[in-house]
């Protein structure tokens, strides 16, 4: 099958905003006296803001009202955006810019499939927005990863079938979403966590055009 599009997750694939999500959630968890570490943070990758909050609150023993939870989510996002304020092109993960340039040159469509409601702002800060033929973020979807909706919507906007597209993902929930949607999934990170992907790369620095040939079964 000919690959016509590559769809990228944002946090952890294009830029390491996961560290800022962690700092902001950690600050909230500390305030609530809930223990929360890097290991717990793995479960938050790729999932929505509200689900992330639920996962953290489940680690504590207090029940909060919807209004209180809403306030917590808003507060976390304000802190997250503060941490992100210094982001610029230097934060693009290794090899990504070069790969996007090569995709453009070879007329392969480029899509974004991110759970983040801040995706547009981050892409703008990275000066990458103009590369994307379709951008699907947390504002456009109703079902969070591992539901494949975000990637299916991106494929629809790009006018390609899932089996004509590669999804790049760093989260377990994201890899599962890609596979469930019928995409070729390339995991970025730990093969023990991303085992369901078709291929797992330790770092974005290892992304190259040969992967397209592999996905096409050449």
User: Which one of 38-46, 89-97, 189-197, 204-212 is the stretch in contact with ligand B16 (CB under 6 A)?
Assistant: 38-46
**Which residue matches tokens 């379709």?**
134
The answer to whether 114 contacts ligand B16 (rule: CB under 6 A) is: yes
The answer to whether 149 contacts ligand B16 (rule: CB under 6 A) is: no
The answer to whether 170 contacts Mg ion (rule: CB under 5 A) is: yes
Separation of alpha carbons 80 and 66, rounded Å? 21
The answer to whether 172 contacts Mg ion (rule: CB under 5 A) is: no
The answer to whether 180 contacts ligand B16 (rule: CB under 6 A) is: no
CA quadruple 71, 174, 209, 15: dihedral, nearest 10: 20
User: How many CB atoms within 10 Å of residue 8?
Assistant: 27
Question: Which positions from 8 through 27 interact with Mg ion, judged by CB under 5 A?
Answer: 9, 11-12
Among 28, 29, 32, CA closest to 62: 32
**Which residue matches tokens 């929930």?**
173
- Which of 35, 139 has the CB closer to ligand B16? 139
- Which of 193, 214 has the CB closer to ligand B16? 193
* Largest Cα–Cα separation, the chain: 55
User: Where on the chain is the footprint of Mg ion (CB under 5 A)?
Assistant: 9, 11-12, 46, 170-171
């Amino acid at each position: 099958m000919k690959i016509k599009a590559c769809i990228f997750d944002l946090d952890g694939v294009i830029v390491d905003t996961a560290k800022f999500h962690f700092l902001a959630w950690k600050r909230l968890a500390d305030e609530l006296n809930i223990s929360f570490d890097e290991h717990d943070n793995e479960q938050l990758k790729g999932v929505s803001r509200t689900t992330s909050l639920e996962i953290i609150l489940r680690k504590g023993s207090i029940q909060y009202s919807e209004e209180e939870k809403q306030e917590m989510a808003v507060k976390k996002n304000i802190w997250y955006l503060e941490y992100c304020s210094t982001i610029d092109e230097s934060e693009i993960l290794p090899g990504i810019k070069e790969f996007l340039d090569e995709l453009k040159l070879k007329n392969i469509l480029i899509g974004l499939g991110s759970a983040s409601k801040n995706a547009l702002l981050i892409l703008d800060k990275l000066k990458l927005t103009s590369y994307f033929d379709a951008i699907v973020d947390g504002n456009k979807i109703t079902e969070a990863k591992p539901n494949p909706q975000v990637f299916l919507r991106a494929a629809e906007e790009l006018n390609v079938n899932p089996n004509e597209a590669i999804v790049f993902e760093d989260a377990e929930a994201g890899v599962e979403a890609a596979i469930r949607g019928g995409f070729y999934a390339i995991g970025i990170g730990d093969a023990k966590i991303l085992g369901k992907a078709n291929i797992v790369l330790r770092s974005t620095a290892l992304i190259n055009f040969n992967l397209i040939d592999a996905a096409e079964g050449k």
